[in-house]
Every structure is written in C-alpha cells, then in structure tokens.
Amino acid sequence: MSLRFEQLGKTFVASVSGIDLRRPISTEQQSTLEKALAKYGVLVFRNQPIGDDEQQAFIEKFGPPMNTTLKELATGHPHFYDIGTVDDNGIPTPEIKARQMYMLANQLWHTDGSQVQPPIRLTALHARVLPPEPPPTQFADMHAAWNALPDAQKREIDGLKVEHSIYWSRQKIGMGVDDFSDETREQRAPVDHPLVRTHPLTGRKSLYLASHASHVIGWPIDKGRALIEELTELATQPQFVFSVDWQPHNLVMWDNRWTMHRATPYSGDHPRKMRWCAVRELEPV
Ligand code: OGA
Ligand code: MN
C-alpha cells in the first residue's frame, strides 16, 4: 500500500489514502507524511477506527507527544484532551466554567499551543463520537495570506515579535485570570514568537497568528493589536479558508506552523467527542 494524497482545497488540505492507522506506521511513511504536511498543511485520514493506543503510537512517530497537563481539560490520559461534550462513558462533561470556556475559545481562529514555548508543531484530532450533523472545522492557509500582502507590508512586518497569551484569548470570551486554576496560571506565562515564520521543509513564509496573539513587542499595545486584528481578518477571508467535514473515525492532522483553525458551533444536544493529541517543536520558536 503506498500513500496517496488528493488535494481538497484550492491551495491546501488533502485527503490521505493507502494507510491503516490501526498498524504502526513506518519511518518512511512518517517522512512522507511530514512532507505532505509541509505541502498541504492539513491531512484528512478517512475511516480510521483506532483507539487510544493506536492514536498514541501514531503521534509518537512525529515526536514526543505533548503532556496534556491543563487541569481544566484533563481526560485522565497523559497525552490526550477531549474536545467536545461527553466523557468516555458518554456522560456529559461537568459544566465547569473553565472547560466550557476552552470549548468556546476553540471557535476563535487559532493555532494550537502558540501560547506556550516551544509551541505545538502538529495536532492529530480523531473523531470518536459525532453529532448527527457534525460541524466542520475550518482551516486557514497562512502562507497564501502572507503571499497576498503588498511587498511594503511584508517588509514592515517581517522580523516582528508578538506576545501570545492564554489570558488574552480567554479575555475575548469573557474569562478572567481568576477563572484559571493556580496550576494553570503557573504553567502559562505569556511567550513571544515571530509574526512571520519560515517553514523548515519548504522555505515558504507564513503569518503566525492565533487568538492568543496579543500585541507586537516594542510597539504601543494598541498599534500592535490593530495590526494583529487586520492580519487575522485578511488571513481568514474565504479565499484562504477550507472547511473540513467530519465523518465517524476520521483523523485530521494539521501543521500549526502555517495554518490556523477554528471550531464551528456545536450544542450539547448531541454528544461530540474528539480525541486531541499533539507534538511540540523541539526548540523554542
Ligand atoms: C482543536 C480544535 C476544533 C474543533 O482540536 O485543537 O481547535 O472543531 N478543534 O473541535
Ligand atoms: Mn485547536
């Protein structure tokens, strides 16, 4: 079986076939997938009926799986979060404000883990339980967005550094610092990242933005916030966005270095349960 990719969006996103994630993937397959992530940004693996052990074995091929330490989202598994509304027994997750806020915050355009250093590199999200009409997850091509900028603006912003903070993204949805556990507050000091990143495999530049992106280092706060807002609006225009539809057992993997994403709304009326895992960059960015 050899890996095949079919591009789904105009500029990015592909489906992958010729792979069975119930079995360990080879180093060669992993390296092909790394290149595909650099080329397509988002990969959709259809109909992969895997459990935790297989998902863990898969993500580990790409690096040390991230420890999922946020108390508010804990699943009891050291490397998974659940994105959704029910626990492993199908029981609605307790209505803890912080957890509900995280789920709501997923509807803001973001890259995973830009609020930590080193940031998250890749995410793999597996659909375990879906509502009857599963809401899509939307992705934005941040390389295409960079390319669309006027040269003068490219020159102006290349080299800038941005402060990313979980408190900034959560403030947007009405959450205060006091709503986080003490542990989380200790783990989540704001961090700086470049506004423009170069992908190590393709050499292509892209905007690095997220709901966590607060302001530009060395600029007046308001000016930096206005720039981040302007660039985020630009980068999430329809021509840069692709909506990924969910089917049972699909696994979607994305490259957080040059894509942004957001959840579209879902209600608690029908269970939704997505198993989330990720690998971080090995060095600070
Ligand atoms: C995520 C995320 C979006 C969704 O898993 O990181 O943002 O549609 N999910 O659940
Ligand atoms: Mn996310």
252 is a domain residue: yes
pLDDT recorded at residue 236 = 98
Residues with CB under 6 A from ligand 1: 83, 106, 112, 123, 125, 137, 261, 263, 274, 276
SS3 45: strand
Q: Which one-letter DSSP state was computed for residue 168?
A: H
Is 179 within a domain? yes
- Tell me, what's the pLDDT at 94? 66
114 within some domain: yes
Closest ligand by atom to 264 CA: 1
CATH number at 124 reads: 3.60.130.10
Q: Does 53 map to a domain?
A: yes
Question: What pLDDT does residue 38 have?
Answer: 98
pLDDT for position 95: 66
What range does the domain containing 220 cover?
4-280
For the chain, how many structural domains are there in total? Answer: 1
- The dihedrals phi and psi of 276, each to the nearest 5 degrees, come to -110, 130
Task: Name the residue at shortest CA distance from atom 8 of ligand 1.
Answer: 263
Of all protein residues, whose CA lies closest to atom 4 belonging to ligand 1? 263
Give me the pLDDT at residue 118, please: 96
- 285 domain residue, yes or no: no
* Reported pTM: 0.94
In ligand 1, which atom is closest to the CA atom of 137?
8
Distance (angstroms) between ligand 2 centre and the Cα of 94 equals: 21
Identify the pLDDT of residue 82. Answer: 84
Q: Determine how many CB atoms are found less than 10 A away from the CB of residue 176.
A: 9
Q: Which two tokens stand for residue 37?
A: 């992530």
Positions of the chain with pLDDT lower than 50, given as ranges: none
